Amino acid sequence: MDHSYEPILSDEERARRRAQRAAARKKKQQARRRRLLLQTAPFLLLAVILAVFLLRNAQHPKEESAPEAPAVAPAVMPDVQEEPEEPVVYTISATADTVQLDDTLPSAYAVVVDRASGRILAEKSSETVISPASMTKILTLLVAAENLKSLEDTVTITIDITDYCYVNDCSVVGYDVGETATVRELLYGTILSSGADAALGLATYVAGSQEAFVELMNAKLEELGLSETAHFTNCVGLYDPDHHCTVRDMAIILSAAMDNELCREVLSAHTYETTPTEQHPEGQVLSNWFLRKIEDHDTEQAVRAVGAKTGFVVQSGSCAASWGEDSAGREFICVTGNAYSAWRAIYDHVELYKNYCGY
């Protein structure tokens, strides 16, 4: 038996409780609406954004932009297209009129060339492979001149350079370890003083090492069409069985150097004064021995020697490469090898210019 009972409430109490229950239901309904709003708010926001976007497009239709023009390379007309520069071809050849020199010329090897025509005027064993000695430095000069960045760049002489020169008994300018010189000075030192220290400084400056520079030298020989008989292993002219060329090859190398304004300037200089340094406070006077000595003997000549480079190693004797000019501006090249002295090489050039170029 259920003994529970419900108390008898007054009308006022029942009204109050009904009001409380109604307030509680309303509160629950508000809470449900808030939860529903929170759940649907992101979707409502996205819908509003989409509606705004669609409304704007409807009011301001997007103008169709013209298709972007494809990139067009500038037209190059075939008749104005720049062609890569072809290397200059230097050729020299004998003719029926070429004089074959005999042993009355003391030098064992010789060639005299009319530069404009490439015609060999006189020769003696000109196709025999010989050691070019320091005539090598004409190519060193040319390769350096074609690859330098600035004549005023400076190069520091290292102990490796001075040791190389000492061990191999090279002719030198006389730079000390740590001394700096401009590239311009090294060019003159290579030719006028036949300085191995200057040549090695140039090689290091241009290519990072003598070995890398020699690769450039042999590439230049190939470009000149001389690689069948000419091959160099160093930039200073030291004897090596694999370091060789003919006097004809050297005539072509000199002709190529003459076409380079800087090389022509250096090869034709009689003297050059270097900038004073800590090691040489008064600078140094560099001198082209061949040009200074030959000018005493060619003053009455129709052809005057203008530029030159000598060389000597025991295996090649005294040798020299020079070019001369007559009063009409005609140019001649003379290369000799294996004379018994440096003076004999000069005398042979004087005689060759006198006897075969005075026309």
Q: Phi and psi (nearest 5°) for 27?
A: -65, -40
Residue that wins the pLDDT comparison between 347 and 14: 347
Q: 31-36 long-range CB contacts below 8 Å, 24 or more apart?
A: none
pLDDT at 71 over 80: no
* Confidence band, pLDDT 50/70/90 cuts, at residue 77: very low
Q: Which amino acid is at 49?
A: I
Q: What residue spans define the domains of the chain?
A: 93-356
Look at residue 301 in the predicted model and tell me its pLDDT: 72
CA dihedral (4, 10, 13, 19) positive or negative: positive
Classify residue 41 by its DSSP letter: H
Q: What is the pLDDT of residues 111-136, one digit of tens each?
A: 999 999 999 999 999 999 999 999 99
Residue that wins the pLDDT comparison between 137 and 38: 137
* Confidence band, pLDDT 50/70/90 cuts, at residue 163: very high
Query: How far apart (Å, rounded) are the C-alpha atoms in residues 157 and 304?
Result: 36
CA dihedral (123, 138, 314, 218) positive or negative: negative
Mean pLDDT of 201-220: 98
Query: What tokens appear for 195 in the block?
Result: 């300085």
Look at residue 3 in the predicted model and tell me its pLDDT: 44
Residue tagged 């009204």 (tokens): 15
Q: Which residues pair with 100 in a beta bridge?
A: 123
Q: Which of 78-82, 137-141, 245-249 has the lowest mean pLDDT?
A: 78-82
Query: How far apart (Å, rounded) are the C-alpha atoms in residues 289 and 174?
Result: 16
* Confidence band, pLDDT 50/70/90 cuts, at residue 306: very high
Look at residue 93 in the predicted model and tell me its pLDDT: 94
Q: Specify the CATH number of the domain 93-356.
A: 3.40.710.10
Average pLDDT value over all residues in the chain: 86
Q: Are 251 and 242 in contact (CB under 8 A)?
A: no
pLDDT at 315 over 80: yes
Look at residue 66 in the predicted model and tell me its pLDDT: 47
